[in-house]
Structure 1
Amino acid sequence: MQPQTHHAVTVGEIIDRLSSCDRNAPFFLAINPEFPHVHFAGEIVTARDGQGGQVVFLGEAGQGEVLPPAIAQALTWHPPTGTVSLSRRAVRRSARLA
């Protein structure tokens, strides 16, 4: 995993990044690399910073299913892997068949 440098992204940068996306595609947030789940985008709220400039916040509106491994890898949260992850049930079932 690479170290991340954090900086504020402008509204214009977000619009530019999203402009090539299908306008009808679902939009989700990916928030926590240690516990990667899909999160739903919520309300958009604007406020003023200490210098009187506008700042924009996109709220989180709940957690969904586990983030697909390919997405966590594309975000560089998890290293690429060739191993297949099996559920405990699948492991027990395969152990009984052996």
Structure 2
Amino acid sequence: KRELIVPNKEFITSRVLNWTLSDSMNRLLLSIGIAYGSDAGEAMRLIAQAADENEYLLKDPKPVVSFEAFGDSALLLELRCYLGSFDFRLTAK
């Protein structure tokens, strides 16, 4: 969600403090394969709907479904979403 650029010298010569350690929000990436010939748009809509209905996923930032690649035996889609806590990681999948 955020990027931070820190020169390598800072890691070697200074003390580094992780300010995000207390923030339990974390990103979840789910790869989903659908058969060739499937309606990819409909599949993406259904995945987005399921994500919106999942009580463990945050509404902001909004879950995003994207087409990633043509796999060997499937069209590869990816759901990017955020969880409010690490505790929900396995349950949300």
State the TM-score bracket (shorter-chain normalisation).
Answer: under 0.3
Q: TM-score, normalised by structure 2?
A: 0.26
Structure with the largest fraction of helix: 2
Asked which structure has the greater RCO (Cα within 8 Å, sep 6+), the reply is 2
